[in-house]
Homo-oligomer: A and B are copies of this chain.
Amino acid sequence: MPPLTVAFAGSGTGLWEIERMDAVAGEPLAAAARLDVTEGGAPAGPARWVLRGVTSNERYVTRGEHEGLAARQEPLGRPASRRAALILIRKSEAWWDLAQDERREIFEERSHHVGVGREHLPAIARRLHHSRDLGGPFDFLTCFEFAPAHSAAFDELVARLRATAEWDYVEREVDIRLRR
C-alpha cells in the first residue's frame, strides 16, 4: 500500500464526538467538540487545530510479527466500532538519536509493544500515522477503534504501554477519546 496522508481536525463537525481530551504528558491541545478525519486531502471548514500524518512502511516489526498481526487484525471503520481514541505522541530527541537496533530493542524486546497490541486483536483495531517528518508537533498519531464493550480493555492496553521502558522517551502525549 502506498502511503496515505490523513488530516485530523478538531472542529465543530466530523464523524466523531470528542468525549474527553487528556494531556497525559506535556502541553494540552485546544478543546474541540468533534474530530474530523480526512483521508488524502485537506479538511473542509474551519478547525481549532489540524494534525497531519501518513501511513508509511513498518519500521520495527519482523516478518514473523507482521504475519502474526495480519492474521488477526481488522481495519478501521467497522460498524460496531462506536468508540475510538486518537493518541498523539512526541518522543524525545534522545529517542531519535538512538540507532535502529537500540530503538528496536526498547520497542519490543523490553517493552513488548507489538506483543501487547496483539493480545487485544481483533477487538481493538489500530492504524498508525507518522507525523515527525511532516513537521507537526507530534511524531505519531495513532487511531484505535473498538466496540463500547471493549472500552475497559483499551484502558488496560494504554496503561500497560505507558508503564514500559519505551514510554520513558515520550515527552508529550495527548489522549483523545471519541464516540459516534
Residues of A whose CB lies within 8 Å of any CB of B are 2-3, 5, 54, 56-63, 65-66, 93, 96, 98-102, 104, 130, 132-135
* CB atoms of A132 and B65 under 8 A apart: no
Choose from B66, B93, B98, B133 the contact partner of A99 (Cβ within 8 Å).
B66
List B contacts of A132 (CB < 8 A). 3, 56-57
Q: Smallest Cβ distance from A137 to chain B, in angstroms?
A: 12
How many copies the complex holds: the figure is 2
* CB atoms of B100 and A59 under 8 A apart: yes
Evaluate whether A99 and B54 lie within 8 angstroms (CB atoms) in the complex, with A93-B2, A135-B5 already known. Answer: no
* CB atoms of B133 and A61 under 8 A apart: no
